[in-house]
Amino acid sequence: MQFQQLQYFVAVAETRHFTRAAELVHVAQPSLSQQIKALERELGADLFLRARGNIALTDAGEALLPLARRILADADTARHEVQELVQLRSGRVRLGATPSLCTGLLPDVLRAFHDRYPGIRLMIEESGSHDLVRELARGVLDLALIVLPLPPASPALTTVELLREDLVVVSSPEAQAPGGPGRRSVRIADLEGERLVMFRHGYDLRELTVAACRSAGFEPDFAVEGGEMDAVLGFVRAGLGVAVVPRMVATRSGRGLRVTPLARPGLSRTIALAHRSDVAPPRAARELQRMLLER
């Protein structure tokens, strides 16, 4: 009994027509008929009652049909499982993340993923959330770490909340502390009159900080603007001004920086893991997703 013969048998049983079954399995009708006859000889029983214009299963055919379907389904499952394992030995994962998350969250997780799956190539796209949402929609990325809420008119994305992160104020230890000496925390209102080192347009942190300053009744004063995360931290260390950054970044990159918490209610942001709703991420990407959620 051959696997292909079972495929042909199930096709005929479901279509009740030899020609349509042959078209379904992409084989010439005479070849399909010959294989069905060979299967019947092998089993020692007719599987179909062949009357003009009417194909029906015999008792033997009825008995074989559920078994044949199960064998074919098991074969598909075996093929799928092997392909899934192969995907974890080679291939790639295309992950997008904001620069602050590349600095704070990702290094440890990516190291653990690489140690477990050294054959998977990690491709990281570092950008703001708005840009990453567009890249997800275009199919350029498998997964992205973005800041919620999603921008207006976003494509259909599936998001899972990953963490809520407090923001802090960083400054140079050689400069006057924000809000005055001896302050253990500062309010957003205390930043009025401070020179801010500001991220480029498209950064969620820029929009969040500017909106908070305006809600506190003042327009922020920029000493420098337009930088990425590393540049902003470097400018702050050099004493050009202060910046509002995620606590995780400040903790990891705190050397040469004074870190001052924001007084309650403070500022925070919600980080989510996103992928397109209409396309399931590949197995390797799903494994990275699992590790991020379990970190």
Domain boundaries, the chain: 3-61, 82-163+271-294, 164-269
Q: Taking the chain (295 residues) in consecutive chunks of 10 residues, what is each chunk's mean pLDDT?
A: 92 92 93 94 93 86 93 84 74 88 86 92 90 88 90 80 92 87 88 92 86 94 89 93 91 84 90 90 90 90
pLDDT of residue 156: 84
pLDDT of residue 188: 93
pLDDT of residue 153: 65
For the whole model, what pTM was predicted? 0.64
Inter-residue contact 49 to 18 (CB < 8 Å): no
Q: In CATH, what number does 3-61 get? A: 1.10.10.10
List residues bridging with 278 in a β-sheet.
none
Cis before 99 (ω within 30)? no
How many C-beta atoms surround the C-beta of residue 128 within 10 A? Answer: 23
Q: In CATH, what number does 82-163+271-294 get? A: 3.40.190.10
Per CATH, 82-163+271-294 and 164-269 having the same topology is answered: yes
pLDDT of residue 288: 94
Pick one of 1.10.132.50, 3.40.830.10, 1.10.730.10, 3.40.190.10 as the CATH number of 164-269: 3.40.190.10
